[in-house]
Structures are given as structure tokens and as C-alpha cells.
Structure 1
Amino acid sequence: MSERFGMKTYMKGAAVLTIASIIVKILSAIYRVPFQNLVGDEGFYIYQQVYPVISIFVVWTSSGFAVAISKMLADNDSLADALEREQRRSSMMRIVFRYLTVLSLLFFVSLFGGAELLANSMGDAQLAPLIRTGSFIVLIMPALAIVKGSFQSRGIMGPIAASQVFEQAVRVSFILAGTFIIMSTTKSLYGAGQIAIIGTVLGELVGFLLLGWLFKKRFGLPKGKPILKDFPVIKEVTLLSLSVSMSSLLLLGYQLVDSFTIYSLLLDSGMDVQLAKETKGIYDRGQPLVQLGVTIAAALSLAIVPLVAHMSKKKQGRSAVPFIQLTYRASVLFGWAASLGLVLVMPYINEMLFKTNALSEVLMLYVLKIVPLSIILTFTAILQGYGKLKKPALFLITGFILKVILNVVTVGWLGVLGAAIASNIGLLVSAVLLMMYLKKMLGIRLAPASYYGKVGVASICMTIIVILWLQFMPILLTPFLSSRFVAVGAGLSAVCVGAFIMMTVVAKLRVLAEKEWYLLPFGRRMAIYQLWLNRKK
């Protein structure tokens, strides 16, 4: 972190970026619902097959490389000599840009030229044109990573936040409008998938153009002669980028495994082509639900982890341990509340969002991954703050290998239920290994036994109330509304009631202290509510 803007400015920038990231994640999850409603389960399958293929490089560069570049530039900016500082900054940016350009060209050639091979490996040759279209997105990434990293290194998060929201708004608008036109005219599902991929490329392009324009207006283009050696810079930026983005890459990696295994294994088990596509599409309904469920954990990692990194470097004063314990307890609390709530109302939420309640039991199991994912997101970020990169990467790779093996073993036997089980086991193993490693490293207890007891009491209260609510609400609504509107009324009301009960019991039992709520994103209101509930009468 550059000394010139300090912790206060950094946290203010991080808060802006946190809000933007939450908006982007919510938009990213929500647009999939109307998209699925327009194209159906088969059309949703088409898009979800290709999405992780093109997204892995995007996440690695626009997220991982950008953060790595920002850290390297910020460390460089702590140098006292202004001339040397600027020369090294310019040289570093040029080296990384050339390296990323080579990487992006290699990825582009691999995706564009190998589209048929990838599509055939998935078992669906018609996906090749979509992969080719998506390959163009990687050409934007080198410049985008450099510009984002440069802004972040100076603690200037506003332009990044604006470009992220603008990019996602353009992407969502284009996808939904284009899909509506396609389904109203040609009704081609693969054509709709093509539009969705074009929208993803277009959104990334306009986001970069906005950010690039703001960068040029503010700083101009880097100048100067190279004074640094290429290899040390390339090595450092590669290792840093992988460590920073590995938790996000992990989720995409799991989706990629599903893209390459589920459909082809369903066909091998004797399932009809049409039914296999629809089954995979229904299974993919869980993805936006999980994405929304881990939003709070992602916000926690963005908002609290900088505090952890800052505290861990201090020689005296308050340590990072209380913040680590709070991060763990908050991520488990919200992750568990989100997954349990979704399990309880899944048949209604499934029909409300996606027209039918098909495979609700599979989706109930699918959304349980929110809990280990919440732990993984926050713990990998905390360990990065301590400079621990190799062990966390090894733990995530272990879980990923388990996912691959279990998919191959179980999908032919259990269908998509096997894929859901494989994901949960892989993520749970990674989460447990990360927890054990951090506890051993710091010699701390992450939460007292009373914490789990209180969360258990709140969970039981929510479960009982929601089950009772869902016994009566559909009966009251059925005479007046169609099946889907009954699902809307029952599902939404149950979500609201369940959330209210859960958070009220959590506040009454003081699962988190009031001062801890104040440290969490948007926790001030919860602290006030908790004080009101526990006031002495």
C-alpha cells in the first residue's frame, strides 16, 4: 500500500469498490433469471456451458492481474526518489503489458482455433461458434488489467467502480434485449446463446473504454525507457495474480468441470439428448442462487480483509486476530442463513424464478455450497494478507481434484445429484483445510462453542416458522392465483419471514456484539436493532 494515501483513504476506496462489486454481483446473478425465462432450460444450458470457458481468463486478468499490478506499483511508489519511482513504474507497466498481450494472444488462438475441439469435448459441436465469439474478450484484458491496477495502486477506486457497474449494465441490457428479439423472431436457442456471449464481450469492451478514457485524461500514457529485467517482474505478477484470484477461479473451475462432464456423462448413461440438455440447464439454475448467497462473504473479504492485512503488519497495538475471528463468524452466519433459507423455500423459489420446480431436491443440495464458499472466499483473502500463497493454493487444488474425480464417478450413476454432491465435498474439504491451517498458524480459536449453539437455536427457530408458514400460505393463495403466482407469494413471504426470524434471534442472543456489527458492511442498522431488542426494560 502506498504511504501517500494511507489506510483511511484506502478503506474509503475499498468501501466504494465493495458497493460496486455487490451491485455487479447482484446484476450478474439476477439477469440470468429473465434470460432463463426467455430461452428455457435448454437455452440456459447452452449459455452456461460456454460461460466458464471464456470467464476464467477474464477473471484472472481483470481481477487477479489488476490486484497484483496494483500491489507491485504501490510498493514501488514507496520509494523516496521521485524520478526513480516514475521510471520503475513505467518500466513495470510496459513489461506486464507485453507479457499479458502474449498471454491473451495465446488464449485467443487456443479458444478460437480449438473451438471445435472444446465443443466436441463437451459433447455438443454446436457450441463451437459461441466459443469463437467469446474468445475475442481476451484481447481486451491486457490493457484493462494495467489500467485497473494503476488506479488501484493509487487508491483511486471510483473510476474502477463506475466502469464495473457501467460494463455490467451494458452487458445485461444487451443480453436481455438481444435475446428477446431472437426468441421473438428466429427462436434459435444457439442464436440466443450467441447474443449472450456477444453481450459479455461488448460489456467488457465498453467498461474498458470508459476506464481507459478516465485513465488517459488523468495520467496520460506511461513514458520512459525500460530499466527493470523482465523475468522477475513476470514471475512476481504471475504468482500474485494467481493467489489473489484463485478463490474466484475455483468456482469457475468447478463450473468448467460440470461443462465438460455432466452433459456427456448423462448421454453416456443413456439419457435422451434433449432431456440431457434440459437437465443440465435445470442444474445450472443453482448458479445465480449461489452467486447471490456468497455476495455478503465477498463483501466481507473486500471490506474487512484490508484491515486484517494492515493489522498483521503492525508491530504494536491491536492485532489482526479479532478481525479474523469476526470475519469467520460473520461469513459462516450469513452463508449458513442464506443456504438454509434457500433449502427451506427451494420448491417455491425454483418455480417463482424459473417457471417450474423441477429438480428442487438437487438444487437444495447445490446451494449448500454457499457455506464452504463463504469460508474459502474470506480465508484465502486473509491468508493473502499474511503473504501465505502456496498452502491455500494447494488446498484449493486438492478440493478441485476431488470434484473432478467425484463428477466422473457419480454423474453416470446419480445424474446431476452426483455433480452437486461432488461440488459440496470438494469445497468442504478445501474450506476445512484452510481453517485448520489458519488456526495452526495463529494458534487461535475461530469461534467459541456458544457461537455455534446460538446459530443453531436461530436456525431451528427459522426452520420451524418457515415450515409452518409454508403449510398455510399456499392454501390461502391457491383459490385466487395461478401456480406460479402462488409460488411467488409463498416464496417471497417465506423468505422475508425467515430472514426476520433468523436475524431477530441472532440479535436477541447477541451472536455478534454491537461493536462488531459496526465493522461489517451495512451493519449499523443491525447494531441499532440489537441494542433496541436487548434494552433493559
Structure 2
Amino acid sequence: MAKNNVFNSVIILTVTMLFIKILSALYRVPYQNVLGDAGLYAYQQVYPMAAIIAVLSLNAVPSVISQFNHEYAEKVYRLLRISSLMLLILLMMFSGLIARMMGDENLSLMLRVSLLVLLPFSFVAVARGELQRRDAMQTIAISQLIDQLIRVSVILLGIYLYTMGFSVYESGAVSILGSFLGISGAWLYLRRKERINPTGSLDNKQLKQFLLLTLFYALSYLIMILWQLVDSFTVLNLLKHVGYSLHDSRELKGIYDRGASLIQMGLIVTTSFALVLIPLLAQAKRQGRHKEMNDYASSALKITIVFSSAASIGLLNLIKPFNLFLFKSDTEAGTLAVYMLAVIFVSLIIMFTAMLQITEDYRVQAFGVVSGLITKIVLNIVLITNFGILGAAIATVSGLLVYTIILYRQIILRYTLTLKSFTVRWVMTLTMMSLVLQLIVQLPFTDRLSALLVSLSGVAAGVLIVGFAMIKYKIISADEWLHLPFGERVIRWMK
């Protein structure tokens, strides 16, 4: 019964997160269509600030609190309440300076609004942690839906206000307010479910433990957000440095930011499928079943590679019609094509991080993310100066590659992986898919409707080729399909 409850909880959260990811991926499309690339640029410049707080309150801090007792949670609440208020006041005072460091003083209003998420942060984080500790996943899922639905609704309001005469910055301020109102909606809902009475404070050992675990849980969720934060402080400044005007720099950065939506779409299926196996891997580790643990690790990694590379290579080949259909132009298609490779590395990093958390190897994650970010910063400076906005995409993928390699070197020391048997067949499948998709994109498309038809044709062809190869050549085995959504139906097709 306990095993079924755990599995059902995983399914509830997986379905909820799938829906939330779809919403997160899609809202940027109408936003760019109405406000243009300059509007998307303004939103994306400030978004990482609010997103970091949201990730800490909705994911990282609750994961840490769920491992300890109620008294610990109350102590954490007191710490978070005081520190978040101090941070809010400090950052509000320096919002103008931060905007100037980003290269655009007009962002200061949006920055101040984004910081409001610090107000409900402490309560939401601790309440979710307490509910997670009691395995009340349905309540958590509802709070996440409330948060996301309010946020997207307010973003749509911001889009409407732009059509009524608001500037891209004023509309952006309304849109970013959605993050605060969304978390506040979750706070009001959780108050009915959870009571918190702060008592005492964390001692030095508990404080160090809390900060350390929060950091490493956050790394699982903050990968692309941290890379985007680097871009917020470097890309615009570097483009202006090499001679672009503020107007042209905003447009180029906005076009580059289109990639965030496409990458999010590529990650939806990858992470939802692959992470289903992590609870099974953790259980095998706790019970000392090492062969099963290695089998689950190999399966999880194989599924990650298969789905992430299929999504990444598919998006890369279809980037021109996708770009025209979704965003009204196919400008900088080469830049976005390079950017799509990030899907592979982000998916692998998420999986590797989960696998290393099971073995409690935290330091390598910190080393990996720092090395990746340093690579990203240095290459941004070098490559944007020489290649413009294309350099930012190359720097992003290179930084993620460094992070991936560092984690992989530790993974192979802790797990015995069996992946070679499917590699050749899968590379041949991706090559065949790319050849077919390149033939399809030679079809004429000059407007959004024709781009949509070419995109759908390419997606259908890619799914058929990949699906046929996966079933015909058993790239994913019957036992592995059993752990995935619709797996039993796929097994019937294989037979």
C-alpha cells in the first residue's frame, strides 16, 4: 500500500508539473507576438530574478524541510521570514543600479515588481515542505496549479494592456507581477491547510546543513535560469559595446530569448518520462539491491538520451518553420538552432543531479555549476564580441557541456552503466530523421500558415521515424517501457 501511495504521489506531481511546464512554455509565444522581440527581451531580462525565488519557495526549500521534523520547519520559517524581508529592502534600494548593470535603466520598475515574490516566499516554502513531509501531494499539486493559472492570467492582462497603450516596460511590470500574485494565491490556499508558529532559531550546524541542502536541491531546477541570469547582465552590454544601438540590441536579445520557449517545450517530455525512474532507483539504493540500482540508472539515462536528443535534433532541423510560425519571422534561425542543443545537456544535467543526490554527492554539483557558469561568462565575452548574438548561443551550449561532462565523470564512478548496445542504432535513427526533416524544410513556406503545415509535417515524420526505430529495434526494452506512461500500449505494439 505504501509503495502504491508513493507511486500515486509521483504520478500526481508528474501530471501537474507537465501541465505547468506546458503553460510556462506557451505563454511567451503570444507575449512576443503582441509586444514584439523588444517586449520579450524586457520580460526575459527580469524573469530570472523572480524565477530564482519561485524555485526556492516551490521546490528547493520544501525538499529540504520535508526531510526533518516540524520543529525544524518552524525554525526555518523564522529564518526565511527575516532574511527575505531584509533582502527585499536591500534589493529595492539598489534596483536602479541593477538595471544599469543590465544595460537598460528602464528595467528598474520591472525589477522592483519582481522582488515582491519575497513577501510570501517564507510561508509558501515552509508550508509546502511540511505537506511534502506528510506526503500530501494532492494539496501541493493544487497550490502549484493556482500559482501558475494566476501567473499566466496576469501575463495575458499585461499583453492586453500593451494593446491599450502601455509601453513594453509597463506591460512587463504588470506581467512580472503575475509571479507575485501567483505565489500569493498559493499562499492563501496553503494557509487553510497548514499552520506555522515560529519557535527558536537554527543553530550553526542546522543553518549550515539547511543552506547546503537548499543550494544543491536548487541546482536541479535552476540550470537554465542561472544561464539566463548571466545573459541578462552580459548580452545587452556586449552587443552595445560592439556597436549596436540600444534598440537593435533589445531586438537581438529578444530574438535570442525565443529559444527559451522552444527549449522548455523540448524538456517537457524528456524530464517527465525519465524522472519517473528516480524513485525506483532511490528505493533500490536504500535496500542495497545494487544490480537493480545500476539497471534503473542505465534505463533512466538511456531514456533521457533518447528523448532529449530526439527533441533537440528535431527542433534544430525544424527551427526555420517553427520560428516563422510561432514568432512571425525566421530571423537568427542559425542562432536558435545552436541554442536547441541545450535540450540534450539540460536533460542530462537534471538526470545526473538526481542520481548524485541519491548517493549524496553534493560537492561535485557545486563544482560543475560554477565551472559551467564561468565557461558561459568567459565565452559570452569572447564570442559575442566576435560573432554577435550567435556567440551567446554557442556560449550557453558550451557552458552546459562542461557542466554535463563534470557530472558524468562522477556518475561513471558511482554507477555501472550499460549504454553501448543502443548507441549505434540510435545515432543512425537520428541521422535518418535529420535527412528526412531537411528534405521537408525544403518545401516552400512564406507565411505562418505554410510554416505551420511544414512544421506539422516535420513533427509527424520525426515521430514516425523515431517511434518505428524505438519499437522495431527495441532501443527501449519492454521492461523499461513498463515504467513509462502508455508503456503497456507500446509493448503491445512491439509484439
Offset, 1:8: 2.9
1:118 has 2:118 as partner: no
Equivalent in the alignment of 1:460: 431
Taking the aligned partners of 2:486 and 2:450, their CA distance within structure 1 comes to 32
Structure 2 letter corresponding to 1:418:
G
**Equivalent runs, 1:240-389 vs 2, <5 Å:** 240-300=213-273, 302-316=275-289, 319-389=292-362
Equivalent in the alignment of 1:127: 107
Equivalent in the alignment of 1:154: 134
CA contact (8 A) 1:309 1:385 kept: yes
Using the size of structure 1 for normalisation, the TM-score is 0.89
**Equivalent runs, 1:86-105 vs 2, <5 Å:** 89=70, 91-105=71-85
1:517 has 2:481 as partner: yes
Offset, 1:317: 7.5
Taking the aligned partners of 1:277 and 1:55, their CA distance within structure 2 comes to 21
CA deviations on 1:244-296 (whole Å, 9 max, x unpaired) are: 11132232110000010001110010012211100000000000111121123
Moved more, 401-410 or 342-351: 401-410
CA deviations on 1:173-226 (whole Å, 9 max, x unpaired) are: 22113311x22221411111111111121111112212222x14xxxx246965
RMSD in angstroms over aligned alpha carbons? 1.8
Taking the aligned partners of 2:199 and 2:83, their CA distance within structure 1 comes to 23
Please point out which of 397, 404, 409 is paired with 2:370.
397
Offset, 1:461: 2.1
CA contact (8 A) 1:303 1:521 kept: no
Taking the aligned partners of 1:276 and 1:225, their CA distance within structure 2 comes to 50
Q: Secondary structure at the match of 1:315?
A: coil
**Equivalent runs, 1:473-492 vs 2, <5 Å:** 474=444, 483-492=447-456
Q: Secondary structure at the match of 1:519?
A: coil
Taking the aligned partners of 2:402 and 2:273, their CA distance within structure 1 comes to 22
Offset, 1:387: 1.2
CA contact (8 A) 2:75 2:199 kept: no
**Equivalent runs, 1:414-453 vs 2, <5 Å:** 414-442=387-415, 444-448=416-420, 450-453=421-424
Q: Secondary structure at the match of 2:99?
A: helix
Structure with bigger gyration radius: 1
Please point out which of 173, 183, 186 is paired with 2:162.
183
Taking the aligned partners of 1:407 and 1:251, their CA distance within structure 2 comes to 15
Offset, 1:298: 2.6
Please point out which of 431, 441, 447 is paired with 1:470.
441
Taking the aligned partners of 1:141 and 1:61, their CA distance within structure 2 comes to 6
Q: Secondary structure at the match of 2:135?
A: coil
Equivalent in the alignment of 2:13: 17
CA contact (8 A) 1:439 1:446 kept: no
Structure 1 letter corresponding to 2:141:
A
Taking the aligned partners of 1:356 and 1:192, their CA distance within structure 2 comes to 22
CA contact (8 A) 2:339 2:394 kept: yes
CA contact (8 A) 2:238 2:385 kept: yes
Paired residues in the alignment total 495
Query: Following superposition, which runs of at least 4 residues in structure 1 exceed 4 angstroms of deviation?
Result: 222-226
Q: Secondary structure at the match of 1:529?
A: helix
Using the size of structure 2 for normalisation, the TM-score is 0.96
CA contact (8 A) 1:331 1:375 kept: yes
Structure 2 letter corresponding to 1:70:
S
Taking the aligned partners of 2:274 and 2:422, their CA distance within structure 1 comes to 21
Offset, 1:458: 1.3
CA contact (8 A) 1:70 1:149 kept: yes
Offset, 1:26: 0.9
% same residue: 32
Taking the aligned partners of 2:362 and 2:90, their CA distance within structure 1 comes to 28
CA contact (8 A) 1:65 1:238 kept: no
Change in 2 beyond 3 A, CA 1:224/1:483: closer
Change in 2 beyond 3 A, CA 1:270/1:211: same
Unaligned runs of at least 5 residues, structure 1: 74-88, 532-537
CA deviations on 1:13-63 (whole Å, 9 max, x unpaired) are: 111101111111110010110111110000000000000122212212321
Structure 2 letter corresponding to 1:198:
L
1:37 has 2:3 as partner: no
Taking the aligned partners of 1:50 and 1:505, their CA distance within structure 2 comes to 42
Q: Secondary structure at the match of 2:426?
A: helix
Please point out which of 3, 16, 19 is paired with 1:7.
3
Structure 1 letter corresponding to 2:121:
M
Taking the aligned partners of 1:237 and 1:439, their CA distance within structure 2 comes to 28
Taking the aligned partners of 2:229 and 2:374, their CA distance within structure 1 comes to 13
Moved more, 198-207 or 229-238: 229-238
Offset, 1:154: 1.1
Change in 2 beyond 3 A, CA 1:222/1:345: closer
Equivalent in the alignment of 1:493: 457
CA deviations on 1:430-477 (whole Å, 9 max, x unpaired) are: 1112112111123x23412x31111112112212222223334x3xxx
